[in-house]
């Protein structure tokens, strides 16, 4: 019923939002001013000379603040709670771009968008930046407004899969308190539509990367008339159909075998990894490390030899790779808020135990039963302990029950042009996830980028992903 009400409310394009009257002023951006290069993550070598950022084609940006309610009226069907949040926004200065506004939605959840503006702008061809007004925003709970959970942050950094102790998860939830229910994707979707209204446009083109695809998909389903095109890069399916991440397991075997062909190694790295997992019983740690090595340009060429040595009991090389990846995952809350990450993921996903309101004591048993029902082949080259104990599951098993808004998970994406991109070496959002979401896209086109890791538009990856996006966004 809630979904029907939300979809019905969207039918009027720029119609008033739930709980608002026609006499209320529309949302507005405050304090518009030229962005400082540092605020956009620009360096002197990346267009930030003289303290002003100039991107491809000479694009410049203005920064502003968008005020949104802590609790969007009508979202949960309960009395609206007081409070406001200030979100940082960066927007290209070509306000009359012929193809309208292109919003880049960053990954995570936990990353702030504004601080990545310079990096994202350099991923686009100048033709895209001439035709679209590129806009990024730092979603609630990120950047300067980050949710701080020191213990959880120390353990996890910017990782999805590092395994935290229960005490760190519990301390984080306690520090955020009951307000954790206001940091879900539904809230970010409502914030995004508030931004659309403040920009005074009827529709948006959305380019989502990783978790940003989840936001884009859910926005498009709730507001189908407010989206003109979708780019979904390294997809997280909107229905969270694989909450234990089992698709990553088999994809690990396939990707390692592809790497072995490329490096002409004489072994089977998948069988070697399975032997290492059996011997060391540290599948969740290995899953975290190997997945992290495919963020951006894949760094897997040394893995077959290292894992072969480890399978023979010689762990030095493999342990060095794992330790280096753990160091690379260190991040402050302002760079990647683990508090926001936990609050969002644990609220939005549908788990073996059910939804976010399921009591904590019943969750572990539900996971055990779900994992026990899996065939051996499903978890290869890892094991059932990896499926039951990876960092995402370990976090959300301990996250307190939270009431959240429901979502029509079986709905199709709107019939708008949709480009779905997958890197064939991606071990964070595996190819099966993108294929699954493509089935919900009536006008979808799936492109698999050979040799690419996570987020095919990343400049460290082969150019094919960026080329596909340019053709899609500038074509008819």
pLDDT tens digits along 68-124: 999 998 888 889 999 999 999 999 999 999 999 999 999 999 999 999 999 999 999
What percent of the chain has pLDDT above 70?
A: 95
d(C-alpha 25, C-alpha 338), whole Å = 35
Torsion-angle region of 126 (φ positive above 0: left; ψ -120 to 50: alpha; else: beta):
alpha
Residue 457 located in a structural domain: yes
d(C-alpha 404, C-alpha 427), whole Å = 29
Residue 12 located in a structural domain: no
The average pLDDT across 260-275 equals 94
- Residues in Cβ contact with 379 at an 8 Å cutoff, skipping those fewer than 6 apart: 246, 249, 371, 386, 387
Confidence bin at 25 (pLDDT 50/70/90): confident
Confidence bin at 410 (pLDDT 50/70/90): confident
d(C-alpha 87, C-alpha 143), whole Å = 9
Angle at 393 between CA 143 and CA 403, to 5 degrees: 70
Count of domains in the chain? 1
pLDDT score of 456 more than 60: yes
Determine the pLDDT at residue 102.
98
Residue 8 located in a structural domain: no
Residue 74 located in a structural domain: yes
Residue 463, SS3?
A: coil
Determine the pLDDT at residue 460.
95
Q: Exposure pattern of 153-188 as b/e (b: 16+ CB <10 Å)? A: bebbbbbbbbbbeeebbbbbbeebeeebbbbbbbbb
Q: At what angle do helices 246-263 and 283-292 cross, to 10 degrees?
A: 60
What percent of the chain has pLDDT above 90?
A: 88
Determine the pLDDT at residue 115.
96
pLDDT score of 18 more than 50: no
- DSSP code, position 97: -
- Residues in Cβ contact with 33 at an 8 Å cutoff, skipping those fewer than 6 apart: 62, 63, 64
pLDDT score of 261 more than 90: yes
Residue 434 located in a structural domain: yes
DSSP alpha helix (H) spans, 132-165:
150-156
Residue 78 located in a structural domain: yes
Cβ atoms of 395 and 109 within 8 Å: the answer is no
pLDDT tens figures, 190-245: 999 999 999 999 999 999 999 999 999 999 999 999 999 999 999 999 998 898 99
Q: State which residues form the domain around 117.
A: 28-149+166-241+407-474
Confidence bin at 23 (pLDDT 50/70/90): low
Confidence bin at 16 (pLDDT 50/70/90): very low
pLDDT tens figures, 284-321: 999 999 999 999 999 999 999 999 999 999 999 999 99
Q: 308: which 2 tokens? A: 């072969």
Distance of alpha carbon 144 from the chain centroid: 19
Does residue 450 have a cis peptide bond before it, meaning omega lies within 30 degrees of 0? no
d(C-alpha 305, C-alpha 2), whole Å = 53
d(C-alpha 391, C-alpha 358), whole Å = 19
Residue 372 located in a structural domain: no
Nearest to 185 by CA among 215, 152, 150, 205: 215
Cβ atoms of 124 and 133 within 8 Å: the answer is no
Cα pseudo-dihedral 89, 90, 92, 95, rounded to 10: 20
Residue 82 located in a structural domain: yes
Mean pLDDT estimate for the chain: 93
Determine the pLDDT at residue 4.
38
Count the neighbouring beta carbons within 10 Å of the beta carbon of residue 69.
Answer: 20
The average pLDDT across 337-362 equals 95
Count the neighbouring beta carbons within 10 Å of the beta carbon of residue 21.
Answer: 6
Determine the pLDDT at residue 424.
97
The average pLDDT across 388-414 equals 92
Domain CATH code at residue 419 = 3.40.50.1820
Residues linked to residue 254 through DSSP beta bridges, in sequence order = none
d(C-alpha 254, C-alpha 252), whole Å = 5
Q: 21: which 2 tokens? A: 């009257």
Q: Is the pLDDT higher at 1 or at 320?
A: 320
Distance of alpha carbon 328 from the chain centroid: 18
pLDDT score of 3 more than 80: no
Q: Is the pLDDT higher at 49 or at 174?
A: 174
């Amino acid at each position: 019923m809630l979904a029907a009400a939300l979809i019905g409310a969207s039918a009027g394009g720029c119609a008033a939002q739930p709980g608002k009257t026609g006499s209320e002023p529309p949302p507005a951006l405050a304090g518009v001013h030229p962005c400082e290069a540092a605020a956009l993550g620009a360096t002197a070598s990346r267009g930030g000379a003289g303290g002003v950022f100039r991107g491809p084609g000479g694009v410049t940006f203005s920064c502003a603040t968008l005020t949104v309610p802590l609790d969007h009226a009508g979202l949960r069907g309960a009395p609206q709670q007081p409070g406001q949040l200030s979100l940082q926004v960066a927007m290209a200065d070509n306000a009359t771009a012929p193809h309208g506004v292109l919003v880049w939605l960053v990954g995570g959840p936990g990353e702030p968008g504004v601080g990545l503006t310079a990096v994202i702008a350099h991923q686009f061809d100048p033709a895209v930046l001439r035709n679209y007004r590129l806009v990024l925003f730092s979603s609630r709970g990120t950047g300067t407004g980050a949710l701080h959970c020191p213990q959880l942050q120390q353990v996890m950094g910017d990782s999805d899969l590092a395994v935290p102790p229960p005490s760190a998860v519990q301390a984080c939830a306690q520090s955020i308190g009951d307000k954790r229910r206001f940091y879900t994707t539904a809230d970010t979707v409502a914030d995004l539509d508030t931004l659309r209204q403040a920009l005074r446009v009827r529709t948006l083109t959305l380019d989502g990367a990783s978790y940003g695809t989840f936001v884009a998909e859910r926005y498009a389903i709730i507001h189908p008339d407010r989206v003109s095109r979708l780019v979904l890069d390294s997809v997280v399916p909107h229905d969270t159909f694989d909450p234990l991440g089992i698709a990553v397991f088999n994809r690990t075997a396939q990707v390692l075998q592809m790497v072995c062909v490329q490096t002409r190694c004489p072994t089977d790295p998948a069988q070697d990894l399975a032997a290492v997992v059996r011997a060391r019983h540290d599948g969740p740690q290995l899953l975290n490390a190997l997945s992290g090595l495919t963020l951006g340009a894949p760094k897997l060429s040394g893995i077959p030899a290292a894992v072969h040595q480890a399978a023979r009991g010689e762990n030095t090389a493999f342990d060095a790779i794992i330790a280096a990846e753990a160091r690379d995952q260190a991040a402050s809350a302002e760079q990647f808020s683990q508090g926001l990450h936990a609050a969002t993921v644990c609220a939005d996903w549908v788990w073996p135990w059910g939804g976010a309101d399921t009591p904590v004591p019943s969750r572990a048993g539900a996971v055990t039963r779900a994992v026990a029902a899996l065939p051996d082949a499903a978890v290869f080259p890892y094991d059932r302990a990896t499926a039951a104990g990876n960092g995402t599951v370990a976090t959300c098993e301990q996250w307190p029950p939270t009431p959240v808004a429901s979502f029509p998970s079986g709905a199709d994406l709107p019939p708008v042009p949709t480009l779905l991109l997958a890197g064939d070496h991606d071990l964070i959002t595996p190819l099966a996830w993108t294929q699954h979401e493509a089935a919900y896209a009536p006008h979808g086109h799936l492109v698999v980028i050979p040799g690419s890791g996570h987020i095919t538009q990343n400049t460290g990856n082969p150019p094919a992903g960026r080329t596909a996006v340019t053709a899609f966004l500038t074509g008819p």
